[in-house]
């Protein structure tokens, strides 16, 4: 009786979320899988081909190259993002002088649109018109000057850096919130025992933020695997496919070549990969829950 009454109360509150989930996730997913099993002609007619698109995908070197670049972007971005974000959040949690200015300075890029940031950095990284190479030469580091977006060895890292620079403020804010909710008595006890600030960070604070860090890693993985805008605007997958990701390859195949069925097959495979790897990350990074 009691559980039945609970359901009657809970279901109306959950219903809008279920409707939104079905409308904006489940239906597009089912439609994508359906489209991936058809060949889409330029006249708009569909011809059922079953799993032929997936068989074609399994032997496509361009898809494997895009998949490799996508995973590389995820790994390189994680290395660029999390150490600085943790360091900045930890520093800001110490109530530094000028803390509000530093918070604004870190978060300000987030409010800029992706298009503006991409075009700005595309100009800054230009080998002759930009200011990055002249700045390096002025600092005596001219040997580091590169054609950043024109060199296959540096293009992916350069685009990843711009993506991280634009969004790091969000991650810093989330980590700051995590640091602020840690129990002060545990941290003070560690200080009384003689632990230094760095040891407290790695030995006390970060282990207590394990659940938050796991969630942030999974979120970064899901976000970076869908990378599109920065790459499309800054390099469009070049040079020589060195920055081509699954997102840009799907776009080019769908809208440049008009092969919507094949692009849909790529999207379906990407969704499966996201779900599988996100589940594995959650399982691998799972730790015993800490109560504080």
Residue 291 in domain: no
E strand or H helix that includes residue 143: none
Whether omega for the bond prior to residue 55 falls within 30 degrees of 0, making it cis, is: no
Three-state DSSP at 40 gives strand
Predicted pLDDT at 43: 65
Whether 263 is covered by a domain: the verdict is yes
For residue 234, pLDDT over 90 is answered with yes
Q: Given a cut of 60, is residue 260 above it in pLDDT?
A: yes
The mean pLDDT of 204-208, rounded to a whole number, is 88
What pTM, to 2 d.p., does this model score?
A: 0.88
- Structural domain that includes position 196: 61-284
Q: What percent of the chain has pLDDT over 70?
A: 95
120 C-beta neighbours (distance < 10 Å), count: 14
Range 247-254 average pLDDT: 92
CA end-to-end span of the chain, whole Å? Answer: 35
Domain membership flag for residue 234:
yes
Whether the pLDDT of residue 124 is over 60: the answer is yes
Whether pLDDT at 132 is above 70: yes
* 7, part of any domain: no
Sign of CA dihedral 268, 271, 275, 281: positive
CATH number assigned to the domain comprising residue 140: 1.10.3720.10
Q: Is residue 146 included in any domain, yes or no? A: yes
pLDDT reported for residue 210: 86
Domain-embedded: residue 35: no
Positive or negative, the CA dihedral 105, 110, 113, 118 is: positive
Rounded mean pLDDT of 71-99?
Answer: 89
| C-alpha span between 22 and 151 (Å, rounded) | 43
CB atoms within 10 A of CB 9: 9
Tell me what pLDDT residue 129 has: 86
| Report for 13-27, 117-131, 181-195: range of highest mean pLDDT | 117-131
**Mean of pLDDT values over 34-58:** 82
Task: Tell whether the model's pLDDT for residue 292 goes beyond 90.
Answer: no
The pLDDT of residue 2 = 60
- How does DSSP classify residue 97? T
**Integer angstrom CA distances of residue 22 from 26, 33, 219:** 5, 15, 21
What does the pLDDT read at residue 258?
82
Count up the domains in the chain and report the number: 1
pLDDT of residue 1: 55
């Amino acid at each position: 009786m009691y559980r039945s009454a609970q359901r009657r109360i809970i279901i109306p509150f959950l219903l809008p979320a279920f409707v939104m989930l079905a409308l904006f996730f489940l239906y597009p997913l089912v439609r994508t899988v359906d489209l991936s099993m058809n060949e889409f002609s330029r006249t708009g007619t569909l011809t059922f081909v079953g799993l032929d698109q997936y068989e074609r995908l399994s032997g496509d070197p361009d898809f494997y190259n895009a998949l490799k670049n996508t995973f590389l972007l995820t790994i390189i971005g994680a290395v660029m993002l999390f150490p600085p974000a943790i360091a900045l959040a930890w520093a800001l949690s110490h109530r530094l002088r000028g803390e509000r200015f530093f918070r604004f300075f870190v978060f300000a890029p987030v409010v800029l649109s992706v298009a503006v940031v991409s075009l700005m950095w595309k100009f800054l990284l230009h080998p002759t018109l930009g200011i990055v190479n002249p700045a390096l030469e002025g600092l005596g580091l001219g040997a580091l000057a590169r054609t950043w977006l024109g060199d296959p060895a540096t293009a992916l890292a350069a685009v990843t850096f711009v993506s991280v620079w634009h969004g790091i403020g969000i991650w810093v804010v989330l980590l700051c919130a995590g640091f602020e909710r840690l129990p002060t008595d545990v941290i003070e006890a560690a200080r009384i025992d003689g632990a230094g600030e760095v040891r407290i960070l790695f030995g006390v604070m970060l282990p207590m933020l394990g659940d938050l860090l796991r969630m942030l890693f999974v979120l970064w993985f899901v976000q970076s695997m869908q990378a599109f805008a920065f790459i499309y605007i800054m390099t469009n997958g070049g040079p020589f496919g060195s920055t081509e990701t699954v997102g840009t390859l799907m776009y080019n195949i769908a809208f440049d070549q008009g092969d919507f069925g094949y692009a849909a097959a790529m999207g379906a495979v990407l969704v499966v990969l996201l779900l599988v790897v996100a589940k594995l990350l959650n399982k691998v990074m799972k730790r015993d829950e800490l109560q504080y």
